[in-house]
Amino acid sequence: MGIWAGRAATEIAASVRAGDVTARDVVQEHLEQIAARDGELNAFVKVRQGAALDEAAEIDARQDMTDLPLAGVPIAIKDNVQVAGEPMRSGSAATPPGPQEKDHPVVARLRAAGAVVVGLTNLPELGIYPFSDSAYGITRNPWDLSRTAGGSSGGSASAVASGMVAIGHGNDGAGSIRIPAANCGLFGLKPGTGVVPAELGIDDWAGMSENGPLATTVADAALMLSVLAADPALASVTEPAPLRIALSVKPPAAGVLVHRDFVGAVRATGRALHDLGHAVEAEDPRYPVWAANAVIVRWLACPAAEAVPYRAADLEARTRRHAAAGRLFSRVRPPRDDDRARLRDVLAPFFEAHDVLVMPTLAQYAPRARRYGEGSWLRSVVTSLRYAPMTGTWNLAGYPAASVPAGLGPNGLPMAVQLVAAPGDEAMLLGLAAQLERVRPWARLAPPRPR
């Protein structure tokens, strides 16, 4: 890795603004890192080699460099939001191959802040599953090439964790930022409803999906979130005064087994938070049975609606079966407009008594990297529900939630805990995560590993 590839976004932006390095040189070095690493990781579906260098040169020529919070920072964009001049394939061969006419609002905000889009990243077809294999290949985990990077923002997570970009864009309909962040040893945050423009159309999973950052440090994620939310105050991370913190390893649905390593990670995090002066107690939220059903129905029904414009023959067989199941479940228990309000009413007493919930991000370690789309639909569903059922409740509720690295397991894979707070408390989550990062620092990048 060169001088700049692998450095934090905050450091890169400060150095470009100060004139210590050009944006073009920073981007060139990251493109070289992509050339060296992406052959084994397959994080990108499109690398914008020439366009990225041209855009970096334009940043170098700007007169308002000091006003660009992300000056020259290389970023990856998940390939399910619009990037002007590029196709948007959403992990599918069925989607139109033509270029998009304009940037999605979050892409426009990132570019206006000085970030350089070096490429578009892989995801499962239509973003349905928590592992990123698609018609464009299998995205692998930089910590262990035999494992998935997760999904659906797995391409962005793999790109960040390997140092191919400084920060990555993801979106999260039932955990799709937090799941790959946990798999790849990153900090990832799903903001609460309305903080960042979603504008994902029918891909918003009935209002559950949000755009957010994937980063190697809390400060980088906060800086990116401040740009996405058009709220500069979010970039100033402040460690919080003592908080009331609840620890829970209870899954939000019956029948889920949480790996003992992840139970241990939550308890170890609780001890660290207690030592920091927070009031920590074991306390489980009350998860209504219908809430898990409501999340699963949206996971089935919303992709079914999203698949309608495309030729069925061009979709993966797995996606066609998923859509058929979604149509069936929609007749039995369609998504209800009042599900979010009902769930918030149930959760409100818990978050009146506690400021933050600490719980596992995942139930099991990242499964094997394989072409799930060519296999059984039922296998994909069971694998998804077995390893990544801990996040979707907070999408339905519209609460902010973050995945924070929590060391390595005995197998050398990253572990993580999930922090959840009430709506509007993104800054508090960032501050608490920064406190954990200070006392329990994590490896920012995955070491290169043989296949």
Residues serving a catalytic function are 78, 152, 176
Q: What is the DSSP string of 309-368?
A: TS-GGGS-HHHHHHHHHHHHHHHHS---TTHHHHHHHHHHHHHHH-SEEEEES-SS---B
**152 C-beta neighbours (distance < 10 Å), count:** 33
Local structure of 140: helix, strand or coil? strand
Residue 451: Cβ-neighbour burial (10 angstroms; 0-12, 13-18, 19+): exposed
Per the listing, tokens 């049975």 go with 289
> How far is CA 2 from each of CA 6, 25, 29, 172, rounded to the nearest angstrom?
8, 11, 7, 32
Q: Which residues pair with 281 in a beta bridge?
A: 246
Task: Compute the C-alpha angle 235/236/241, nearest 5°.
Answer: 130
DSSP 201: G
Distance (Å, whole) CA 208 – CA 266: 26
**Distance from chain centroid for Cα 228:** 14
